[in-house]
Amino acid sequence: MAIQTVICIGMAGSGKTTFMQRLNSHLHAAKSPPYVVNLDPAVLNVPYGANIDIRDSVKYKKVMENYKLGPNGAIVTSLNLFSTKIDQVIKLVENKRDAHDYCIVDTPGQIECFVWSASGSIITESFASSFPTVIAYIVDTPRNSSPTTFMSNMLYACSILYKTKLPMIVVFNKTDVCKADFAREWMTDFEAFQEALRSDQDLNGESGLGSGYMGSLVNSMSLMLEEFYSQLDIVGVSSFTGDGFDEFLTAVDKKVDEYESYYKTEREAILKRKEEEEATRKQKSLTHLMKDLGLKENQGSSRQKDQDDEAEVISDLEDANENDGIVLRDEDEGIEREYTFAGDRTNGEVNGNTAPDLQKRYEEALEQVAKTASSETAENIARYIRQ
């Protein structure tokens, strides 16, 4: 059975990390320990043991210092750096598919840094193309007791659903503080939501958020989101007490079946269409190039065939040695993982003090590559002139 991936996304303060900790302990108690991935580079401590931690690969404060960035910019850049090695992360998870039923992924608290960034799309797409993947959208229940705030959160959930195109579970967290019954009712009964909106308008008066233009807008959006609600599973949980996590895992299993029957098929169709469009684009580019160079069709086809044959051989060689140089850290069972933030924070960091000649070697290599590229370019230009 393929490992099931749950990507936890939510607003700052919604309780994602605490939810991850409780889900991790709940699965351990059920004798089904998950494979845990932390993608928040700015967190100092996490209340769970992470098998893969972005902080092992990227130093968040160094990114801020080196690239002259603020907190959010550094998070996006850290995710960009990490996403360049996502293929290795997927291989690590694949190697553990027999030992784990679930892979749970914690994302940064700044939700826009992950959802709307290119690196967030790359990471999500990589997991979704390899494993059955479900989005768990964590909602702070007490903060969404107002109809307007609730509608804003649901709009965000809707945008994430259509951005990722993956099955979604809306998780109303902190039910030990505020029960999620009102949210269920609002999502299934339009008239109940309208009544709550009118009550909010009466409570706040004409200057309140529930009145005037805002009230009309929220009413219209609630009608529009009726179809969106029908595609969601709603679960109320308490990360503090542990209530609702059995129901959440049942919802995950249901969404995995939905992924297999619908989302996977749609994703494969999209990828196939993209491949066909890319092949058509390449053919057009090749035709234009042959026309510009005055080459015949058969010559171009022959050269293209030679290139394809050569590329196929190179690809075969790469596949045969794809694991060369990659250290699969957690292949050895029984070895305790060491966090990069434990003890000396500079442990394992490469800088001017640990490798003083590193910058010099980089500059020499860059200069050599530039000379080689310039020489090859000059030779190509001279060859075309002679022809």
Domains detected in the chain: 4-204+220-259 (3.40.50.300)
pLDDT for 354 equals 54
Give the model confidence (pLDDT) of 335-355 as tens digits.
Answer: 445 444 344 444 444 455 555
- Collect the ranges in the chain with pLDDT lower than 70: 1, 204-212, 295-363, 365-366, 369-387
pLDDT for 289 equals 79
Q: How far is CA 185 from CA 43, 72, 73, 80, 222, in A?
A: 36, 36, 39, 40, 13
| CB crowding 9-44: b at 16 or more within 10 Å, else e | bbbeebbbbbbbbbbbebbeeeeebbbbbbbbbbbe
pLDDT for 347 equals 43
pLDDT for 200 equals 79
**Cβ atoms 221, 151 nearer than 8 A:** yes
Q: In what order do the strands lie in the sheet with 233-236?
A: 52-53, 35-38, 102-106, 4-10, 133-140, 168-173, 233-236
d(CA 286, CA 108): 43
Is pTM beyond 0.85? Reply is no
pLDDT for 202 equals 72
